[in-house]
Amino acid sequence: MATRQNSSSGRPKSPRIQVVLPEDLCQRLADLAEGEARTVSNMARVLIQQGVERLEQQLQPTDRFRAALEQQQQGRPQRLRGAPRRLRLRPPR
């Protein structure tokens, strides 16, 4: 769980988390941060934000399709819009 601290003025600071990285990944992160003139912490925040946004975009169509299925009333089925374009079909065993 993220911890939150207060600044000297009493305003809450942004939540903080602690992450343990392998040395090679930490060095790669430091090199990227130096190349973009950022702190390692700021570079990690930017990369985490981009990764979270990308995952949310990938999950969104599936979540909408699932929600539409769950909301369907019993009886006459309705046409669902926004179904995933790629479905993996596995052969029967």
Q: Which domain holds residue 32?
A: 24-71
Distance, CA of 47 to CA of 37 (rounded, Å): 14
Total tally of structural domains belonging to the chain:
1
CA contacts within 13 A on the Cβ side of 37:
0
Position 83 scores a pLDDT of 63
Distance, CA of 85 to CA of 5 (rounded, Å): 45
Specify the pTM.
0.57
Q: What is the pLDDT along the chain (93 residues), one digit of tens a residue?
A: 667 677 788 788 888 899 999 999 999 999 999 999 999 999 999 999 999 998 888 777 677 777 677 776 555 666 666 666 676 777 777
In a domain, residue 52? The reply is yes
In a domain, residue 41? The reply is yes
Number of residues written out for the chain? 93
In a domain, residue 84? The reply is no
For residue 84, give the amino acid letter.
P
In a domain, residue 82? The reply is no
Position 15 scores a pLDDT of 87
Segments in the chain forming alpha helices (H) = 23-35, 40-71
In a domain, residue 38? The reply is yes
CB 28 within 8 A of CB 43: no
